[in-house]
Amino acid sequence: MADDLKRLRDTLGFVEVDAMRGDTFAVMLCSAFDNPDEDDLDEYGWGPSAIAGYNATLDAIHAHYAAAFDRLRADRDAEIRRAVERERAYCIADVRQTIGIIGAGPRSSMASALEHAVITINRRARQETGGA
């Protein structure tokens, strides 16, 4: 999601609405912060005040949404961990039931293979969820 937030920030200046009459969000912001007395203009004709105001506004928007993205990311990751854990529990229960059916007598190679499958399922689940 950090990439999503960066993309959002990088493209926000290009947003246009009819009320801006053809200008972009970047032009609107730079116009609001522009100081006509500044001579040191960039290649688009904006002075340091306009650029600083534009960047400060993007910083504020970024900070505002960063917390929401972090919460969404944490919620998503927690749900993924819960889903993996549920699936792992179902797989293990099925394998153990099969071991019980196969392994009524002396341990067969099939029962041993299924026990190994349980270990593998657990290991993969820990890797996929970052050790959870």
Domain limits of the chain?
A: 2-128
Q: What secondary structure letter does DSSP report for 108?
A: P
Residues 6 or more apart whose CB falls under 8 angstroms from that of 66 comprise: 5
Report CA torsion sign: 13, 14, 20, 21. positive
Q: pLDDT tens per residue, the chain (132 residues)?
A: 567 777 877 888 888 888 878 888 899 999 999 999 998 888 888 999 999 999 999 989 888 888 888 888 899 889 988 888 888 887 777 777 766 666 555 556 666 777 777 777 777 777 776 665
- Contact, 99 vs 115, CB < 8 A? yes
How many angstroms separate the CA atoms of 118 and 105, rounded? 20
pTM confidence score = 0.54
Q: Residue type for 104, please?
A: A
